Amino acid sequence: MTTEPARWAYLVEHPGADPDRDCLVLESGGQCSMVVAVASTADAPAVAAGLVRDERVTLVELCGGFGSGDVAAVGHVVFGADQIPAAAYATAAGSVTGRPR
């Protein structure tokens, strides 16, 4: 009996990114994790839906920098729900794109 590995995706915003090109796949220990960059948070719903449909992803996680509207859009498109669990973060004062100077 063969069990399929758990398949997870983590989406992060990166200006100019192409999700077909700018992705990292880690596969070991019965799990496949994908880190996928999107050029804009507005691209996330379509990218997440494609990962669920084409890559059989069962868990989609969004970078904490995605806003609540972005999270709701992904939840609606992928899971048919406007409210899904999410975590968020605020960048530190004086940071540049979330990274300390």
- Residuewise pLDDT in 10s, the chain (101 residues): 557 778 999 999 999 999 999 999 999 999 999 999 999 999 999 999 999 999 999 889 998 888 888 888 998 888 887 666 666 666 655 444 444 43
pTM: 0.79
Q: Is residue 91 part of a domain?
A: no
| Secondary structure of the chain as H, E, C letters | CCCCCEEEEEEEECCCCCCCCCEEEEEECCEEEEEEEECCHHHHHHHHHHHHHHHCCCEEEECCCCCHHHHHHHHHHHHCCCCCCCCCCCCCCCCECCECC
What is the span of the domain harbouring residue 66? Answer: 6-79
In total, how many domains does the chain have?
Answer: 1
Q: Is residue 50 part of a domain?
A: yes
Q: Is residue 88 part of a domain?
A: no
